[in-house]
Amino acid sequence: MSTTQITTTAEDRDLVLTALIDASSDKVYRAWTEPELIKQWFAPLPWTVPSAQTDVRPGGSSVIVMRGPEGQEFPNPGVYLEVVPNQRLVITDAYTKAWEPSDKPFMTLILTFEPEDGKTRYTARVKHWSVADREAHEQMGFHQGWPICTQQLADLVAKL
């Protein structure tokens, strides 16, 4: 397992995770956009990802299903707002497929993949609709779970 320095912070309605990953930005981007790679890192073990679907283009939809240890499943639908290959992804759960509004928007995720000395400065900024949503995300385990997933991501891309 590689060692990746990972930090998380809370800023008003945002939660931010940053990491310096020992892999090129194209590999980190691929791990966020290719369903077979997403399944390998997206949920903190012992959780799994039995299904991932992506249509990586502005307006394209995404559904990633996380499965808990007791078998409960949590689909995470969203729509890509911005796609800059190997540099940036912006995804929101405010819409589901085909620009259908979701029942309860929760967040917009801004991912950046910046080359830095042969590695990638990876930033995940989670912008919540309200402070209460941010606090709920923290209570769901953001500061524990996202770093675990980021380490799993770093371990995966080190092998690509």
pTM of the model: 0.94
Band (pLDDT 50/70/90 cuts) for residue 1 is very low
Helix axes 142-157, 25-33, angle to 10 degrees: 120
Strands (E), 12-72: 14-21, 48-54, 61-67
Structural domain spans, the chain = 6-157
Confidence of residue 111 (pLDDT cuts 50, 70, 90): very high
* Three-state DSSP state, 116: strand
Chain segment 142-158, per-residue pLDDT in tens:
999 999 999 999 999 99
Q: 95, 105, 103, 122: which is closest to 24 by C-alpha? A: 122
82 pLDDT band, cuts 50/70/90, is: very high
Mean pLDDT of 79-87: 98
- Say which CATH superfamily domain 6-157 falls into: START domain (3.30.530.20)
